[in-house]
Amino acid sequence: ALEATSNPSATLRPKIFDEFSLSDRVAIVTGANRGLGLEMALALCEAGARVTYCLDLPSQPSEEFIATRDFIKRLGNASRLEYISADVRDQKAIWQLGEDIADKEGRMDVCVANAGILRPHTDCLDYSAEQFKEVLDVNTNGVLYTAQAAGRQMARFGTPGSIILIGSMSGSITNKNHSWISYNTSKSAVLQMARSMACELGPKKIRVNSLSPGYIYTSLTATSLDNQPGLLAKWSEQNPLGRLGRPDELRGVITWLASDASTYCTGSDICVNGGHTSW
């Protein structure tokens, strides 16, 4: 029944931290061999996910991945990380992987479509069709294929699911001296993709949101930062908190979005950028 207010005396009301638990959930995260993807996969395991499948390009997992997997084993909460070599640009292969995982685990609950690339450039008038396509193939098409792969299994098993598309503040703003036209375009599309999918999948109890980080030091931003002295100071100066973000500053928000603590949140873009887009 519809109630105007919640009932604090209700015996079934869960404790607030229990709502963040991902106990027994099955998750996939793309681009999770390192960087933000690996950090978010770790957070899902720390929140109790039964298993988080990490998809990435290399045939073998990185040393960073192996160290993280060992750390999770030592947590002793029965969560595990699994590595699968996969290319998000291959729609058929990604759909098949989603089906194989759901068949094996008997469910699919959480999807983080995170794999992304940045190809810095300066002159949009010279930008080639190949370069433009290269970025959109991963950042936009690959995100769609990943969300489809998980959403199809969530619908098949009838479990309420949470799909999180990793956008960027570059989907909403740009920079005067480096427009990153392909990257910005690809990320802008992701924000609208989340809204569109949320509308269609709401009746199936599948939530779709985008998560848009600001500048965080990873291998993606390292190329720009290492090659341009003064860029770190400039980005920091532009930010109300006066600094770049850390990968671990996404662990709270990804757990919230993946869990029952956010059951009324869908079709939203969640910004985690130190206030960078606030002015």
Please list the active-site residues.
168, 183, 187
Point out which span in 75-83, 197-205, 214-222, 224-232 binds ligand NDP (CB under 6 A).
Answer: 214-222
Q: How far apart are alpha carbons 169 and 277 in whole angstroms?
A: 7
Among 48, 190, 61, smallest CA distance to 114 is for 190
What is the footprint of ligand NDP within residues 169-208 (CB under 6 A)? Answer: none
* Residue 209 sits in the site that holds ligand NDP (CB under 6 A): no
Minimum CB separation from ligand NDP for residue 227, in Å? 15
Classified as helix, coil or strand, 270 is: strand
The footprint of ligand NDP on residues 54-113 (CB under 6 A) is 56-58, 87-89
Sign of CA dihedral 100, 101, 107, 108: negative
| Complex with ligand NDP: residue 159 or 168, whichever CB lies closer | 168
Binds ligand NDP by CB under 6 A, chosen from 22, 25, 26, 37: 37
The CA–CA distances, whole Å, from 212 to 117, 156, 246 equal: 15, 29, 14
> Looking at beta carbons, which residue is closest to ligand NDP?
116
Q: Would you call 58 exposed, middle or buried from its count of C-beta atoms within 10 A (0-12, 13-18, 19+)?
A: exposed
Q: Quick check: 251 binds ligand NDP (CB under 6 A)? A: no
Reduced to 3 states, what is the DSSP secondary structure of residue 180? coil
Write the binding mask 260 to 279 for ligand NDP: x where contact by CB under 6 A, - elsewhere.
--------------------
Q: Which token pair is 232?
A: 């770190």
Nearer to ligand NDP, 159 or 186 (CB): 186
Contact by Cβ (8 Å): 133, 50: no
Q: Judged by CB, which is closer to ligand NDP: 84, or 155?
A: 84
Tell the smallest beta-carbon distance from residue 124 to ligand NDP (Å): 19
Cβ closer to ligand NDP: 124 or 222? 222
H or E segment to which residue 104 belongs? helix 91-105
Which of the stretches 6-14, 75-83, 209-217, 228-236 binds ligand NDP when contact is defined by CB under 6 A? 209-217
Q: Which is nearer to ligand NDP, 48 or 56 (CB)?
A: 56
CA distances from 162 to 28, 57, 165, 203, 229 (A): 11, 24, 10, 13, 40
**Position of tokens 């499948």?**
53
Classify 126 as helix, strand or coil: helix
- Least CB distance from residue 261 to ligand NDP, whole Å? 22
Residues in the chain: 279
How far apart, in whole angstroms, are the C-alpha atoms of residue 10 and residue 5?
12
Taking the complex as a whole, the smallest distance from the CB of residue 98 to ligand NDP amounts, in Å, to 14
Contact residue for ligand NDP among 27, 31, 48, 144 (CB under 6 A): 31
Binding site for ligand NDP (CB under 6 A): 30-31, 33-37, 56-58, 87-89, 114-117, 138, 142, 166, 168, 213, 215-216, 218-221
